[in-house]
Structure 1
Amino acid sequence: MLRYTLKRLASLVLSLIVASAVIFLVVEVAPGDTASFMLGLNAQPDTIAALRAELGLDQPKLTRYVSWVGGMLTGDFGTSYTYRTPVADMIADRLWISLPLALYALTLSTLLAFPAGILAASRRGGAGDVSVMTATQLGVAIPNFWFAMLLVLVFAINLRWFSAGGFPGWDDPVAAVKALTLPAIALALPQAAILARVMRSALIDILGEDFIRTARAKGLTRSQALWRHGLRNAMIPVLTILGLQFAFLLAGAIIIEQVFFLPGLGRLIFQAITQRDLIVVESVVMLLVFAVIIVNFAVDLAYAAVDPRLRSRS
């Protein structure tokens, strides 16, 4: 297990190095000059040059890349060009919205998908299976931003059970969770549909294996074989989807945050792009990539815990 973990850790470090270089290069080659954008069309060349020097944009790209990476390793993400405040502070303020929202949505997705997928697999071809597959097809087909607007219309405007948007802060945890409920549901629906279908397919494949038939021959019922032997062996593809879903929910909630006016990471990066605040864009994207890689690393370790054969191959 130690050798397996070290190999995955080395892959993690290499992925982070490559990702940081790609992010920096992609952002830097984007057309337009930050200083010119900030000062406007009528700015004088010497004023633009002075602002570029103040922001450090006149330094060679390699120097700026090394400084940026070195700062991130010590927790210093630089200073925002637009707001002149530390990027780390801006990220920390927004992370306390985006991270709970992602975890909330992932929890709802899992609570919906696992029972639905297990029910569909255990009732393959029956009414339960058809009902679950129909519902998941709708869940995959419906755009989450459209579903979000429908939730606002029904539960915020008509029923007035929730607010239509905004975030009151964590001083009142009940109000904060309530404000995240509709966005979490909007994010969770399509993810739950995908996860339920993966769970069903994985269980159906496992239930056709020889060791399941052996278990049934020894006297176990179909339900007992499913819960004792099938579910654990079907978890590898499900864990993959769970890891990818968490990364998507954390990084891909830009539209939902716009619909509900949530000041999270998605909205921060959207504002930074429109304002050409490159240091914010680079740092937030790198943080999200780091989250994705860490989640994948955790999923790899979970693979080894679920399937010991993976440890023996490493």
Structure 2
Amino acid sequence: MRSVLRTALGALLTLLVSSAAIFAALAASPGDAASRLAGPKATAAQIAVIRHANGLDQPMPLRYLHWLEGCLHGDFGTSLQYQQSVASLLAPRVGQTLALVGLTALLIVAGGLGAGIVGAVSRRGSAALTVLSGIGVAVPSFVAAALLIQVFALSLGWLPAISTGVGGLRGLLLPALALAVSWAAYLAQVVRASLREALGEEHVAIARSRGLSPAGVFRRHVLRNAAPEITTVSGLAVAGLVAGTVVVEQAFGIGGIGSFLVQSVASKDSNVVLAISLLMVLAFIVTTTATDLLHRALDPRIRGAADSRERQAR
């Protein structure tokens, strides 16, 4: 119970510190949002009116406290550029990003786990995995996006190059592949190494000597022992996907929160930037916390150590 409370307090503190750091960075960045809104022909008086109407003439700490108070009441402010509530602007875009992240997560886990298992049990598969995973890890998502568009959209014409949200799964497949390549390759390397280490354990040899089938030995003894490490890496991969969507959504024209973040940073729309950044931080915290809890459930050594510390604290 105490560990759960510590985790919750740590998450809240991380969100608070992150919001303050992002707010300060936006305030210190060059450019003036009021001048952008007013246009190049606006007078100083018109710019001052816009600045006052949006609270931009107040000191930065006071603006941050006002924004934080609004967040506690579920109000993330008004977009400076669109003059609409930030929540109404983000609602349709969050769905696009979640669909992309969900499909990418499936590709990472399925591709990385499958390739890692093949590489662990097959010598030829191991050699091929070493080469392909090394290339995959080294390829950035924007390079993968360009290559995928060139091959599957422009040359073969199988999939659309631009996802407008209408194409459904077909429209998200190329962006998800571009986002999944690097993480799936890394996960495959981790899975192969973990399974090979588990295959060399003494209890695996004992299970084989007792006449258990190879599939049973692999499932009950090898895969189960490697599961905690595989789960951790998979969780970290999924946690980093939300931030990774920024580049991919721009490349494929997806109207998600990643591309919207780029537009909002360019226009110094601070309320939108803050809301999206905190959503990304929150997604990372939730995913890593869930991964940690699952890791503890799968690894009895960690669970036992945590229980022992709680008993000593009492």
Q: Which runs of 5+ in 1 are unaligned?
A: 170-174
Which runs of structure 2 are paired with 1:62-73 in the superposition (5 Å)? 62-73=61-72
Cα RMSD after superposing both structures = 2.0
Residue in 2 aligned with 1:153? 150
Judged with a 3 Å threshold, the aligned counterparts in structure 2 of structure 1 residues 152 and 203 are, in CA distance, closer, same or farther, namely same
**Per-residue Cα deviation, 1:102-158 (whole angstroms, up to 9, x for no partner):** 1101101111111111121223xx211101121111211233323322322232223
User: Secondary structure in 2 aligned to 1:154?
Assistant: helix
Native 8 Å contact 1:4 1:311 kept in 2: no
Report deviation, 1:180. 0.7
**Mapped pair 1:113 → 2:112:** yes
**Per-residue Cα deviation, 1:183-211 (whole angstroms, up to 9, x for no partner):** 11111122110110111112222333343
1:26 & 1:287 partners in 2: Cα distance? Answer: 17
Report deviation, 1:59. 2.3
**Mapped pair 1:272 → 2:264:** yes
1:10 & 1:202 partners in 2: Cα distance? Answer: 33
1:107 & 1:54 partners in 2: Cα distance? Answer: 46
1:152 & 1:8 partners in 2: Cα distance? Answer: 42
Which runs of structure 2 are paired with 1:58-207 in the superposition (5 Å)? 58-123=57-122, 126-169=123-166, 175-207=167-199
Judged with a 3 Å threshold, the aligned counterparts in structure 2 of structure 1 residues 166 and 128 are, in CA distance, closer, same or farther, namely closer
Which stretch shifts more, 210-219 or 182-191?
210-219
Residue in 2 aligned with 1:172? none
Report deviation, 1:98. 0.8
Residue in 1 aligned with 2:309? none
1:284 & 1:156 partners in 2: Cα distance? Answer: 30
Q: Which runs of 5+ in 2 are unaligned?
A: 307-314
TM-score by length of 1: 0.90
2:194 & 2:293 partners in 1: Cα distance? Answer: 20
* Runs (4+) off by over 6 Å: none
Native 8 Å contact 2:165 2:254 kept in 1: no
**Structure of greater relative contact order (alpha carbons < 8 Å, 6+ residues apart):** 1
Residue in 2 aligned with 1:242? 234
Report deviation, 1:292. 0.4
Amino acid at match of 2:271: I
Report the identity percentage: 38
Report deviation, 1:303. 1.1
1:163 & 1:205 partners in 2: Cα distance? Answer: 42
Which runs of structure 2 are paired with 1:6-21 in the superposition (5 Å)? 6-21=5-20
Amino acid at match of 2:221: H
Native 8 Å contact 2:261 2:276 kept in 1: yes
1:10 & 1:183 partners in 2: Cα distance? Answer: 35
1:269 & 1:17 partners in 2: Cα distance? Answer: 20
1:135 & 1:224 partners in 2: Cα distance? Answer: 29
Pairs aligned (count): 306
User: Secondary structure in 1 aligned to 2:162?
Assistant: coil
Amino acid at match of 1:79: T
